[in-house]
Amino acid sequence: MYIVNHSRRTEAALLFFLVFLIFSLSRLFYIQFFRSHHLAEIAKKQHNLFIELEPRRGTIYDTNLKPQAVNLACDSVYGSPNEIPEKDKEVIIKQLQLLLNLDYGFLKGRLSRNKSFIWLARKISPEQSEAIKKLNLKGIGFVKESKRSYPNGYLASQAIGFAGLDNTGLEGLELYYDNYLKGEAGWAMILRDARSKTLDIYEKMILARDGYDLVLTIDEVIQYIAERELDKAFKTYRAKGASIIVIDPNTGEILALANRPTLDLNQHSNATKEQIRNRSICDLFEPGSIFKIVTASAALEEKRVNEEDRFFCENGTYRVANHILHDHRPHGWLTFRDVIEQSSNIGTCKVAQILGPEIISRYIKLFGFGTKSGVDLPGEIAGMTKDARFWSKTSISAIPMGQEVGVTALQLVNAISVIANGGNLIKPYIVKEIRDKQGQTIEAFSPAVVRRVLSPESVARVKKILIGVIENGTGKLARNLNLTAAGKTGTAQKLEPNGTYSHNKFIASFIGFAPAEEPVIAVVVTVDEPRGSYFGGVVSAPVFKNIANDVIKYLKTKQSTNEAVVLNEVKKVN
CA dihedral 541, 544, 549, 554 (to 10 degrees): 170
Q: Among 129, 146, 280, 289, which one carries the catalytic annotation?
A: 289
- pLDDT computed for residue 190 by the predictor: 62
CB 357 within 8 A of CB 370: no
Whether residue 202 has pLDDT greater than 80:
no
CA angle (307 as vertex; 301, 310 as ends), nearest 5 = 120
| Lowest-pLDDT range of 102-111, 389-398, 528-537 | 102-111
d(Cα 414, Cα 251) in Å, to the nearest integer?
Answer: 11
Neighbours of 72 (CB within 10 A): 11
Mind listing the domains of the chain with CATH numbers? 51-216 (3.90.1310.10), 220-262+283-562 (3.40.710.10)
Mean pLDDT of the chain: 88
289 in active site: yes
d(Cα 317, Cα 307) in Å, to the nearest integer?
Answer: 23
Single-letter code of the amino acid located at 198: T
Scanning 36-164, the segments in alpha helix (DSSP H) are 36-47, 86-100, 104-111, 126-135, 157-160
Whether residue 451 has pLDDT greater than 50:
yes
Whether residue 531 has pLDDT greater than 90:
yes
Once rounded to an integer, what is the mean pLDDT over residues 39-66?
72
Once rounded to an integer, what is the mean pLDDT over residues 542-561?
93
Nearest to 28 by CA among 15, 43, 47, 20: 20
- pLDDT computed for residue 487 by the predictor: 96
- pLDDT computed for residue 149 by the predictor: 92
Single-letter code of the amino acid located at 545: K
- For the four alpha carbons of 260, 261, 267 and 268, in that order, the dihedral sign comes to negative
Once rounded to an integer, what is the mean pLDDT over residues 504-523?
96
Nearest to 192 by CA among 321, 375, 50, 53: 50
Whether residue 574 has pLDDT greater than 80:
no
- pLDDT computed for residue 104 by the predictor: 87
* 154 or 35: which leads in pLDDT: 154
CA angle (438 as vertex; 432, 443 as ends), nearest 5 = 30
Alpha carbon separation from 492 to 363, 387, 530, 535 (Å, rounded): 21, 21, 12, 9
Once rounded to an integer, what is the mean pLDDT over residues 373-379?
96
φ/ψ bin of 100: left (φ > 0), alpha (ψ from -120 to 50), beta (otherwise): alpha
pLDDT (tens digit per residue) in 461-481: 999 999 999 999 999 999 988
d(Cα 271, Cα 338) in Å, to the nearest integer?
Answer: 46
The separation between CA 450 and the C-alpha centre of its own chain, rounded to angstroms, equals: 23
Once rounded to an integer, what is the mean pLDDT over residues 249-255?
98
Percent of the chain exceeding pLDDT 90 equals 64
- pLDDT computed for residue 86 by the predictor: 85
d(Cα 567, Cα 574) in Å, to the nearest integer?
Answer: 11
Confidence of residue 42 (pLDDT cuts 50, 70, 90): very low
Whether residue 189 has pLDDT greater than 80:
no
Per-residue burial over 109-120, b if 16 or more Cβ lie within 10 Å, else e, is ebbeeeebeeeb
* 459 or 191: which leads in pLDDT: 459
Q: How many residues does the chain have?
A: 574
